Amino acid sequence: MLPSLGQSTSRTTRRTVLLLGALGAAALALPTMKWVTQGPIPGSVVLIAGDVEASDRNLETAVDRRDKSGTKAKRRDVAVDVEYLPRPSKFEEEFLAALEKPVTVEFMELGLEDCLMFLHEAAKIPIWFDKVSLTEEGVALDQPVMLKFQGRLESALHLLLNPVQLAFFPENDVMVITTATKAGENLITRTYPVRDLFQGRNPRNTQMGGGMAPANQAGDKGQTPSDASSAEKKPAAGAAQQVLKQGFGGGGMGGGRGGAPPNDLVEALTTTIEPDSWEDLSGPGSFTFVKETGSLVIRQTWAIHRKILQLLRDLRQARQIGKS
């Protein structure tokens, strides 16, 4: 009987100890539960709260840093969404991409037509020979060619065609190979939004259709009365160019006068890109400035349009560099 009583007493003692331990743990947990439901006890220091706040501050700093640097940097690199209208067709986009493809050629006394067909196979571009024009100009497609070259497809085409006065351009979903004379007669019209290139200037009053600013406003145009009167005496063929210059805020040819800003864009177009191809010098190309849309409507050959587009891209890049 005594051992059984001792065992019962021992079990009772253990239960009492466990109960007291549970009550003590509950008493210790009450402040923590109160902090969770009602917030930290006044005057207490909670390290985890400080870490969260520090993380929030770090996050805000990162966001601010991105907005203050990354976003602005991104804005500096934003290109014009629409460089010209009408937008290129699917074939034109594929054709332009093909011109950038790398090619390696080694033509040793190979016929010109065979050389071009090799490039046609390499770039997967459909090709069409204007044999009527080639025959009229006396160009033989079987003349031997020697060329060892590694580079862009467009460069290879120029190296093959320029020496024999031939040219290429995309039309009707093919690459046309024809004479330089015939290519110069194939004009296309494009509209270039260029308002961003003269933003901040004060465009002059523009009278499209050949009109020019009245002589009594010569002072506002950055010209003297004698300059204005002499401008009125210019032939009608130069009137469109004069109006275009006024639209861009420029003065006379070669730069502004009387503090007027120089006529940079028009000078770049008409004097650096095939000057003889513009109508002022009896060329086929023409342009019109549409003030309402801030656009240049240009009628030129495909090859010259390529140069115009590149020039506008260079000017935009230079302008962004100047802002940085």
Where do the domains of the chain lie, and which CATH numbers do they carry? 90-185 (3.55.50.30), 187-323 (no CATH)
Instruction: Give the residue with greater pLDDT, 255 vs 199.
Output: 199
Question: Rounded to 5 degrees, what angle do the CA atoms 141, 179, 86 make?
Answer: 125
Least confident of 160-174, 247-261, 263-277: 247-261
**Per-residue model confidence (pLDDT) at position 40:** 44
Instruction: Give the residue with greater pLDDT, 67 vs 108.
Output: 108
- Residue holding tokens 């000078």? 267
| Residues 214-243, mean pLDDT to the nearest whole number | 43
| Residues 236-262, mean pLDDT to the nearest whole number | 40
For the chain, the helix, strand and coil percentages under 3-state DSSP, each to the nearest 5: 55, 15, 30
311 pLDDT more than 90? yes
**Straight-line distance from the first to the last Cα atom of the chain, in angstroms, rounded to the nearest whole number:** 100
**Per-residue model confidence (pLDDT) at position 270:** 82
Instruction: Give the residue with greater pLDDT, 60 vs 121.
Output: 121
**Per-residue model confidence (pLDDT) at position 21:** 66
Instruction: Give the residue with greater pLDDT, 58 vs 144.
Output: 144
pTM of the full structure: 0.61
- Residue holding tokens 């079990």? 11
Q: What's the pLDDT tens digit per position in 10-37?
A: 555 666 656 666 666 655 554 544 444 4
**Per-residue model confidence (pLDDT) at position 294:** 87
| Residues 146-153, mean pLDDT to the nearest whole number | 97
179 pLDDT more than 70? yes
Q: What's the pLDDT tens digit per position in 40-83?
A: 444 433 333 334 344 344 434 443 444 444 444 444 444 578 99
CA–CA distance, 324 with 49 (Å, rounded to integer): 42
CA–CA distance, 255 with 267 (Å, rounded to integer): 8
Nearest CA-CA partner of 106 in 115, 97, 98:
115
245 pLDDT more than 80? no
Q: How many CB atoms within 10 Å of residue 154?
A: 17
Percent of the chain predicted with pLDDT > 90:
45
- Mean pLDDT (the chain, rounded): 72
**Per-residue model confidence (pLDDT) at position 233:** 42
